[in-house]
Amino acid sequence: MTDWITRNVWLVPATPIVAALLILGFGKHARRAATGVAILGQIAALIVSTCAFVPTLHSHEFRAFENFTWFTFGEQSLRIGFVLDPLAAAMMVMITLVGLCIFVFSLGYMADDKNFSRFFAYLSFFSGAMLGVVVANSLLLLFVFWELVGLASYLLIGFWIERPSAAAAAKKAFITTRIGDMGFFLGILWLYHQSGTLLFYDGGHGCLENVALLGASSTFIALLIFCGAAGKSGQFPLHVWLPDAMEGPTPVSALIHAATMVAAGVFLVARVYPIFSAGAVNGVTSSLIVVVWIGVVTGLMAALIAVAQSDIKRILAYSTVSQLGLMMVSLGVGGVAAGIMHLLAHGFFKALLFLGAGSVIHGLHHEQDIRKMGGLRKLMPVTFATYAVGMLALSGVPFFFSGGWTKEEVLHATSHWPSSHVPYFLLLLGVVLTALYMTRQVMYVFFGSSRAGSDHHAHESPSVMTVPLIILALCAIGLSIFLTPAWPWLESYLLGHEAHIDAHLLLQPMILVSLVLVGAGIGLGFWLYRRAGEVDPLQQKVPAVYRFLENKMWIDEIYEHTILALAAFASRVSDWMDRYIWDGLVRVIGGIGQIFGALTKGADEGVINAGVDETTVGARGVGRAMSRLHSGQIQIYLGVIALGMLALFLFYAWLT
Amino acid sequence: MIATLQIFLIISAALFSIGLLAALSRRHAIFILIGIEMMLAAANLNFIAFWQFSPVRAPQPVGVMFVIFTIAIAAAEAAVGLAMVIAVYRHFRTTNVDQLTRLKG
Amino acid sequence: MNSVAFAVIAIFTLVFAVAAATNPRLMHAALSFAVMFVGIAAFFFLLGAEFVGLVQIFVYVGAVAVLIVFTILLTRRDAEERHGFKWGGVVVAIGVFVGLVWAILKTNSLPTLPYLVKAVTVKEIGTTLMTQDVWPLMCVGVLLTAALIGALVLVMEDEP
């Protein structure tokens, strides 16, 4: 069994992809079959990944890979493969479990959509592609699945293609991530040039096992690969697509921001971490420094922007960007396990928050502006309770919520970074801001009294939507058992150590610091927004700052006026060149052709045509005469053939 | 009467002529097909007769092979021909070949 | 070889052939056509080609005759009319017959051995089809497929 699963780990991504193809084959009207196949496929993937999870528990430093030759060209052959190690196994279980909850939730959320079955096909495809990223043992194979994830996200963000904003958001997501992927691809090529293989692990010959051979180029390769990761995970210069991706249906947002797409970038950095840390002095390399600073800038900037957003999903989107920055910092300072733990925990509670937001949006008939909500605590009790769990986990309240422990780990790792202490303090500020904007959101949505009368028809969502919420909430709380410093099971599992129980570690001075910070954030939120009306209190007090943040620091506008303007200018220059220089040349050449044409035309008409015309007239006369022979009577034709035969007989008789 | 090759050939010649008669004299399009089938049958009979009477026996049953392929082709021809009759009838509302003279030059 | 049997089969075949060619009633002519093929199959049996005889019965009596009957039924309105008879065709046909007989009788090199019935086995035919004649077999397969599709396309209604 163990042997079989390590050899057939490809089954995990294959199952949802096959399900997706089946659903597309069923056609548009097979709604029941579509959901059945999609959910069955996801359950099967969950079971297989759990089976794959089991052998990784037994031994430390477990790593099984299965490589095979894809194709051969000349002397060289390109090999790809699949790998199973704790990192992949943990990710697989998280993705399939969260995915399953989202699938079930979509049953309720998308029930009225006319392209219901297509939605499930895309969803399955998305989850399969992401699982492929996780189990790939070759950078090339990973890249293939990576692009499939990009394609699936394009299809899903633009699922409501009839809305122009959705189509634009899908394009933006696709193109922005493509910019990063170009760097990623260059990195792959460079890596292949240097190491001659793209397999991660190959019994001592893989590219991750021989990073010392890369030498100085490892920094550049790592940075190029990081471009791709930054694009997918919405890091600072390329984060603009992520909030716009909220145009997709809410379950899609949950899938993109929790389990799949954005996780891919962080996962990629964790997977190729040996390249990043090659030649590290004291755990610091120049590529890791870049990762840390990009992460810090992203985390802080997104947290600030989130404070001033009014769309319930956009707030969550910016919080995702900010948390991803946090994970990147953690990876950069050397806390790989902490970063991945935060990624896993974040997967659960962010999916919970998005699905909760979906439930709210569903209950309020597609109202997304938090300023028009309020007082939903009593009307949607289940949604409120689960949302509160997600909010506390995201804010990082210690002891009971998984997010608290993992955030603690990240901060702990950052505080020991030898290079600089600035990231640590900036992250602490980020923690306060996170608690603040989450409190603001919850205050607006669930507390106070209703604004704009939108709650008159508000209702709790059906159980098909609330049960996944409850499951995810239980996961968000229950996961913390494995995360406490007293028994850091998950960390040891990821690092391949033995987990020890040490109750003294439960209380550390660090935890008090974060307790104070989170308390301050939440308290500030309560105090600021206790009587919040249509106008945001921050907007009243510091309107300039609020406006700056509300418009996302004008980053989109900056892009529009710099990069896009440059592109437009280049296009105008090319257009002008085309119109006047190249076109002029073409016109001159064309003119010469025309003169020649006129000359030959005269020769043609006077000399050649006259002769040809005469011949044609003659041929037509003959043809007309011959066509008289054709009576159209088929039997006469046959009779003539028979008479011809008779004539042959007579000729033969005359001969003999 | 001894069944010699000549007798077989004369019978097949008669069959051929009767087929030709059907194809030439009848105005219904189906009869042209019937006549052609008869002529093909006459040819088959010739193949078999020549094969059976030939002084040298080839290792393979060549004549039989010919007939098998002819039958297959004749069957295909009959299917297409009859389909054409139906199509023509649908279009012109007649199967009288005298009236089907659209190819008149 | 029984001369009587041969004579009976020959007369039987020719009579039904003439009936098929000249009977003014279409349906009767088509049925005569089918019976005539039974006669030809009997010739094949007589000449030691049992397999071909059976194929002849299957294909012509079984399939082609039925096709013809169906076609007649489908073009029913036209079937009963007095299409008449063209005597010119008779003249040509008799001319061709005379020419053929003259040529047959004139040929001296025809083998006149009284034939020995040596039946050909199905196994032999199968072996030949799969070895020496495999390419013609393939071509005939393609041809039959094309004919089938073509026939379907021809009789398909233009507008659904």
Q: For residues A564 and A100, which has the higher predicted lDDT (pLDDT)?
A: A100
Pick the CATH number of B5-99 from 1.10.287.3510, 3.20.20.80, 3.90.226.10, 3.30.450.40: 1.10.287.3510
- C50: closest CA of chain B, how far (Å): 10
Q: Looking at residue B40, what is its pLDDT? A: 93
**pLDDT beyond 80 at A373:** no
Q: Rounded mean pLDDT of A587-599?
A: 88
* Cα distance between residue A34 and residue A415, in whole Å: 49
**pLDDT beyond 90 at C47:** no
Banded pLDDT at B1 (limits 50, 70, 90): very low
- C5: closest CA of chain A, how far (Å): 33
| Chain B residues close to C31, C-beta within 8 Å | none
* Cα distance between residue A15 and residue A46, in whole Å: 10
* Cα distance between residue A465 and residue A51, in whole Å: 28
* Cα distance between residue A354 and residue A391, in whole Å: 11
Give residue-wise pLDDT tens across range A411-441. 888 888 887 888 888 888 888 888 888 888 8
Q: Looking at residue C16, what is its pLDDT? A: 92
Tokens of A578: 């085309």
- A629: closest CA of chain B, how far (Å): 7
Q: Rounded mean pLDDT of A38-56?
A: 86
**pLDDT beyond 80 at A514:** no
Banded pLDDT at A451 (limits 50, 70, 90): low
Q: Looking at residue B12, what is its pLDDT? A: 93
Tokens of B104: 């008149």
Report long-range pairs for A147-153 (Cβ below 8 Å, ≥24 apart): A147/A181, A149/A232, A149/A260, A149/A261, A149/A264, A150/A174, A150/A177, A150/A178, A150/A181, A150/A232, A150/A261, A152/A122, A152/A125, A152/A126, A153/A126, A153/A177, A153/A245, A153/A256, A153/A261
| Chain B residues close to A633, C-beta within 8 Å | 97-98, 101
Residues written for chain B: 105
* Cα distance between residue A402 and residue A414, in whole Å: 19
Provide the phi-psi class of A215: left if phi over 0, else alpha when psi is between -120 and 50, else beta: left
Share of chain C above pLDDT 70, in %: 86
**pLDDT beyond 70 at A24:** yes
Tokens of A136: 């790939």
How many C-beta atoms surround the C-beta of residue A425 within 10 A?
Answer: 13
Asked if C95's CB is within 8 angstroms of A646's CB, the reply is yes
The answer, for B97 touching chain C at a CB cutoff of 8 Å, is no
Asked if B13's CB is within 8 angstroms of C51's CB, the reply is no
Domain range annotation of chain B: 5-99
Banded pLDDT at B37 (limits 50, 70, 90): very high
Tokens of A500: 């020890």
A639 vs C89, C99, C102: nearest CB:
C89
Q: Are A633 and B101 in contact (CB under 8 A)?
A: yes
Give residues 71 to 100 of C whose Cβ lies within 8 Å of A: 86, 88-89, 92-93, 95-96, 99-100
Q: Rounded mean pLDDT of A607-633?
A: 81
Q: Looking at residue C141, what is its pLDDT? A: 92
Q: What CATH number belongs to C1-105?
A: 1.20.120.1200
Q: Are A362 and A312 in contact (CB under 8 A)?
A: no
Q: Looking at residue A347, what is its pLDDT? A: 86
| Chain C residues close to B68, C-beta within 8 Å | 52, 55, 125, 129
Domain range annotation of chain C: 1-105, 118-160
* Cα distance between residue A398 and residue A506, in whole Å: 11
C-alpha to C-alpha distances, A459 to A218, A363, A374, A456, nearest whole angstrom: 56, 5, 13, 9
Share of chain A above pLDDT 70, in %: 90
Q: Looking at residue A524, what is its pLDDT? A: 80
Q: Rounded mean pLDDT of A522-529?
A: 78
Asked if C88's CB is within 8 angstroms of A642's CB, the reply is no
From A161-170, A204-213, A613-622, A641-650, the region with the lowest mean pLDDT: A204-213
- B102: closest CA of chain C, how far (Å): 18
- C155: closest CA of chain A, how far (Å): 21
Asked if A646's CB is within 8 angstroms of C99's CB, the reply is yes
Q: Rounded mean pLDDT of B12-37?
A: 90
C99 vs A635, A649, A656: nearest CB:
A649
Q: Looking at residue A498, what is its pLDDT? A: 67
**pLDDT beyond 70 at C114:** no
**pLDDT beyond 80 at C145:** yes
Asked if A639's CB is within 8 angstroms of C88's CB, the reply is yes
| Chain C residues close to B2, C-beta within 8 Å | 1, 3, 114
B103 vs A630, A639, A642: nearest CB:
A630
Confirm whether pTM is higher than 0.95. Answer: no
Q: Which residue has the tokens 């008479």?
A: A643
Q: For residues C142 and A569, which has the higher predicted lDDT (pLDDT)?
A: C142
A645 vs C88, C89, C96: nearest CB:
C96
DSSP annotation string for A158-193 = TSSTTSHHHHHHHHHHHHHHHHHHHHHHHHHHHHHH
A639 vs C92, C102, C106: nearest CB:
C92
The mean of the pLDDT values for chain A is: 81
Give residues 22 to 41 of B whose Cβ lies within 8 Å of A: 23-25, 32
The answer, for A27 touching chain B at a CB cutoff of 8 Å, is no
Asked if A653's CB is within 8 angstroms of C92's CB, the reply is no
Q: Looking at residue A218, what is its pLDDT? A: 82
Residue A533's identity, in one-letter code, is G
| Chain C residues close to B78, C-beta within 8 Å | 64, 67-68
B24 vs A627, A629, A638: nearest CB:
A638
Nearest CA in chain B to C9: B11
Banded pLDDT at B92 (limits 50, 70, 90): confident
Q: Are A95 and A108 in contact (CB under 8 A)?
A: no
Q: Looking at residue A421, what is its pLDDT? A: 82
Q: Rounded mean pLDDT of A305-323?
A: 84
Q: Rounded mean pLDDT of A110-122?
A: 81
Banded pLDDT at A1 (limits 50, 70, 90): low
DSSP annotation string for C43-58 = HHHHTT-HHHHHHHII
Q: Rounded mean pLDDT of B36-54?
A: 89
The answer, for A642 touching chain B at a CB cutoff of 8 Å, is yes
